[in-house]
């Protein structure tokens, strides 16, 4: 059996992005009087960054276990896929530059109603 987790060094950038968006917007909302339109916009930004931070924490807590017969993901949501029942696999690359040198990959595996999504880094 092989076990894999997202290393802290790979997740650090996402934690920093979530904090860089959430902390300033929450601080502005908590300390300054703003109008209703600005409050709505800032609250929306704070919510988006909070959700991103929560998803980052959940992803960081996910553990993948791979055996000869199955792949299991454990964390908040437990999923297991038997290799012999695998019916869909998709590996996508999302580039952040025109020259395609920088970006990230996403692996989706499905077996019936079960699915595992991994973001290799």
pLDDT for 103 equals: 81
Pair 32, 52 in one domain = yes
Pair 53, 74 in one domain = no
Pair 45, 94 in one domain = no
74 pLDDT above the threshold of 70 = yes
Pair 25, 74 in one domain = no
Overall average pLDDT of the 57-85 stretch: 91
Pair 11, 38 in one domain = yes
121 pLDDT above the threshold of 80 = no
Share of residues in the chain with pLDDT > 70 (%): 98
Pair 35, 77 in one domain = no
Over the stretch 15-59, which tens digit does the pLDDT of each residue have? 999 999 999 999 999 999 999 999 999 999 999 999 999 999 999
**DSSP string for 55-99:** HHHHHHT-EEEE-SSEEEEESSS-EEEEGGG--EEEEEEEESSTT
* SS3 (DSSP) at 115: strand
- In this prediction, residue 77 has a pLDDT band, given cuts at 50, 70 and 90, of confident
How many domains are contained in the chain? 2
Pair 55, 82 in one domain = no
Pair 54, 6 in one domain = yes
* Whether pTM exceeds 0.85: no
- In this prediction, residue 1 has a pLDDT band, given cuts at 50, 70 and 90, of confident
Pair 121, 78 in one domain = yes
Domain residues for the domain of 91 are 69-121
Pair 45, 78 in one domain = no
């Amino acid at each position: 059996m092989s076990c894999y987790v997202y290393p802290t060094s790979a997740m650090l950038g996402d934690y920093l992005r979530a904090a860089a968006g959430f902390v300033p917007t929450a601080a502005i909302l908590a300390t300054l009087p703003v109008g209703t339109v600005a409050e709505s916009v800032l609250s929306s930004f704070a919510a988006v960054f909070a959700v991103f931070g929560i998803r980052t924490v959940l992803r960081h807590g996910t553990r993948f276990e791979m055996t000869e017969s199955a792949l299991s993901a454990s964390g908040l949501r437990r999923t297991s896929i038997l290799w012999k029942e695998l019916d869909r696999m998709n590996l996508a690359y999302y580039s952040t530059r025109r020259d395609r040198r920088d970006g990230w990959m996403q692996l989706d595996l499905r077996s019936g109603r079960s699915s595992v999504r991994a973001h290799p880094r």
